Amino acid sequence: MTVAVETGLWQLDPAASSVGLRHKAAWGVVSVKGAFTSVRGQGEVKPDGSATGTVILDATSLDTKNPKRDAHLRQADFFDADNHPEITFEVTGAERLDGDAVRVSGRLTVRGVTKPLSFTGRLAEVGPASLVLEAEFTVDRTDFGITWNQMGMLAKPSTVTARLRFTRATA
């Protein structure tokens, strides 16, 4: 059964949302996991059912539970957070599919490089005051100029897992 999403403005609830990153390292033997601790965003569902919006991650907030690695990820070899402090996904469209599936299309910007990105997510919860979108998709870091790979240690692509809770924005 497909439940309609209320039209109007929606605000991302950072306390109830998460964006994680998983990447194979050490020649594919070790999985490095991390989470962005600072995420914000908003969206709009229009009367015709189309949706737009933006999700913004603070590039310095990636926490892999290894301070030395986290510091390296913020440097120019990876996110270059001094020059590009935000990772942005601009949603240009979202289409309801069968059941709770949603096809999301947009543009991902990392390190000042913007590339199209589409994925299928799932509406895990839908109500008049809140909704939760869950998604897992892959991103090739080299598409964004992140090419550091000492001795071929890093596999590609990276897997992004998101659980984003939105609440109705007040006027």
Which amino acid type is present at position 170?
T
**Residue 106, Cβ density class (10 Å: 0-12 exposed, 13-18 middle, ≥19 buried):** buried
44-49 LR contacts (CB < 8 Å, sep 24+): 44/8, 44/9, 44/10, 45/5, 45/6, 45/7, 45/8, 45/10, 46/7, 47/7, 49/5, 49/96
- At 78, the pLDDT band (50, 70, 90 cuts) reads confident
Contacts of 121 (CB under 8 A, 6+ apart): 101, 102, 104, 133, 134, 135, 162
How far is 100 from 96, CA to CA, in rounded Å?
8
Tokens of 126: 């839908």
Length of the chain: 171
Where along the chain do its domains lie?
8-168
pLDDT digits (tens, 9 = 90+) for 22-45: 877 644 566 788 999 999 999 999
**Total-model pTM:** 0.89
How much is the pLDDT for 6?
A: 85
How much is the pLDDT for 104?
A: 96
pLDDT digits (tens, 9 = 90+) for 59-71: 999 999 989 989 9
- At 148, the pLDDT band (50, 70, 90 cuts) reads low
What is 8-168's CATH superfamily? Lipid/polyisoprenoid-binding, YceI-like (2.40.128.110)
Gyration radius (Cα) of the chain, Å: 17
Three-state DSSP class for residue 71:
helix
